[in-house]
A and B are shown apart, each in its own frame.
Chain A
Amino acid sequence: MVDKIIDEDIRVLNLIAQGSEAAFEQLVKKYERAVFNTIYRFCGNQDDVADLAQGIFLKVWRNAGKFKGKSKVSTWLYRIVVNHCLDFRRKNRLSCISLDELMEKEIVPDALKTGDDRIQAQNIELMRRAIALLPERQRIALTLAQFEGQSYKEIAEIMGITVSSVESLLFRARTALRSALNKWRSNAGF
């Protein structure tokens, strides 16, 4: 079943390489949600997501003929997404404050301390913002593993590193987020 999906992706990409707009639309519809959310989690805000996604899919359109078939199409696509987002962040010099600063600045209104659901909502928003402040490689690995369900082997291929490096990046990312959350709770008096 999985092999059939992979074969179908390669067939669609070959058609795109020959100029088929219908095949391109099929690929966009299949992956647009994953691309949008990977960009969103990687960059931390919604403002630039659509423009970045457009740039990424145009790269797919232009470079479909260069796909060698050595990896899955999804791995190739995620590599384009990661490189595009890295370029964007470097050009725009995003990420101005550290995780520690975010946790110190984030004040919990008293109203939020009264209900478990509200605390949970605050936790979720805080972690969403905290992910965007992780070091670049940790953020990429976490986004792909946690939200896109990619295996460590696929993440290693996308990032051009070893599987044990992926394991190490994820361990450090989650430890940092865990510490930040504990610090914020301690500051907030939970």
Chain B
Amino acid sequence: MKCDRIKKKLSALLDHQLSGREAFIVNEHLKECGSCRRAQEELAELHGILARIPDIEVPFHFYARLMPSLASRPVAGLSLIGKLRWAVLLAATAVAMITSLAIGNYMGMRLYGIIAGNSGPGSESVEILDFALNSYPQGSLSDVYQNVMNGAENE
């Protein structure tokens, strides 16, 4: 092997990464070539300096600091079926929420229509609704509805 190729192998020789045959060829060359031997000595000195660069210590509380971040366990580990189940559950929840909002909106409009239709001018209707809500602040929507209806009938 020529010196250029030998010098490129010196790093691997130092790291014990050459095959037995390659290491033998390089070592034989080093016995005879002063230039390559100097290059190898310089590399060995550098290796020695690098080996003395100190490690840094891991902070004592590192794992304790890491723990709170684990709370959000991902879905990544689930199988395809597991992921589909999650997707269906999320979609069903979204549909249920939208439906509830639509029903609530419809009932509110119907209630307002009944009050307005049975009691004349709008301002009076609002007064009746206020009265009902203030009288039964803790009641369910059904209680309030019943109360309004009773109030409208009494008038």
- A residues sitting closer than 8 Å to B (CB atoms) are 17-19, 21, 24-25, 28-29, 32-33, 36-37, 40-41, 46, 49-50, 53-54, 57-58, 61-66, 120, 123-124, 127-128, 131, 145-147, 151-152, 167-168, 170-171, 174, 177-178, 181
Give Cα A170 to B13, complex, Å.
11
Nearest Cβ on chain A to B93's Cβ, whole angstroms: 23
Q: Are A124 and B49 in contact (CB under 8 A)?
A: yes
- Given contacts A37-B56, A146-B50, whether A61 and B17 have CB atoms under 8 Å apart is no
B120 sits at the interface (CB 8 A): no
Q: Are A167 and B11 in contact (CB under 8 A)?
A: yes
- Give the size range of B's interface with the partner: 20 to 34
Collect the chain B residues with CB atoms within 8 Å of residue A131's CB: 50
Collect the chain A residues with CB atoms within 8 Å of residue B59's CB: 50
Task: Return the contact of B15 from the options A36, A145, A168 (Cβ within 8 A).
Answer: A145
Residue in chain B with minimal CB distance to A153? B17
Task: Return the contact of A49 from the options B51, B56, B69, B70 (Cβ within 8 A).
Answer: B56
Q: A32-B63, A62-B74, A120-B49 are in contact. List 10 more A-B contacts (CB 8 A).
A: A25-B63, A32-B58, A32-B62, A49-B56, A50-B59, A146-B50, A174-B46, A177-B50, A178-B42, A181-B49
Collect the chain B residues with CB atoms within 8 Å of residue A177's CB: 46, 50
Give Cα A62 to B58, complex, Å.
22
Chain B interface secondary structure, helix, strand, loop or mixed?
A: helix
Chain A interface secondary structure, helix, strand, loop or mixed?
A: helix
Task: Return the contact of A127 from the options B43, B53, B65, B74 (Cβ within 8 A).
Answer: B53
B121 sits at the interface (CB 8 A): no
Give Cα A24 to B74, complex, Å.
14
Collect the chain B residues with CB atoms within 8 Å of residue A24's CB: 70
Residue in chain A with minimal CB distance to B46? A178
Q: Are B77 and A17 in contact (CB under 8 A)?
A: yes
Collect the chain A residues with CB atoms within 8 Å of residue B51's CB: 146
